[in-house]
Amino acid sequence: MNQHNITIEARFCPEILERILRVIRHRGFHICSMNMNITESNNINLSLTVSSQRPLELLCSQLTKLADVAGIQVSHQQKEKLRFMNALSAM
């Protein structure tokens, strides 16, 4: 599976996190890690590591359609065989 690190800046409202997570799930991505900070300007910065075999562009194009999302940044991509790595660590 491919892992991708993305950062999302959005306007803070009670339902924005739920909307973002729903889009991620519906597009076939799994969340590996997540960190959210609320800024002084009433926005949120959401840092996510997601994994999927699907192209990241599919997810980013859907996230940008959300009304409260101001921007998305992709920091870098990693290609990992998660099952293989888990099998090695179990030995």
- Reading the block at residue 50, the tokens are 């997601």
Tell me which CATH code domain 1-87 carries. Answer: 3.30.70.260
**pLDDT of 43-85, one tens digit each?**
999 999 999 999 999 999 999 999 999 999 998 665 554 454 5
Domain residue limits, the chain: 1-87
Q: Which residues pair with 63 in a beta bridge?
A: none
Q: pTM of whole model > 0.85? A: no
**pLDDT of 28-42, one tens digit each?**
999 999 999 999 999
What is the per-residue DSSP string for 18-64?
HHHHHHHHHTT-EEEEEEEEE-TTSEEEEEEEEEESS-HHHHHHHHT
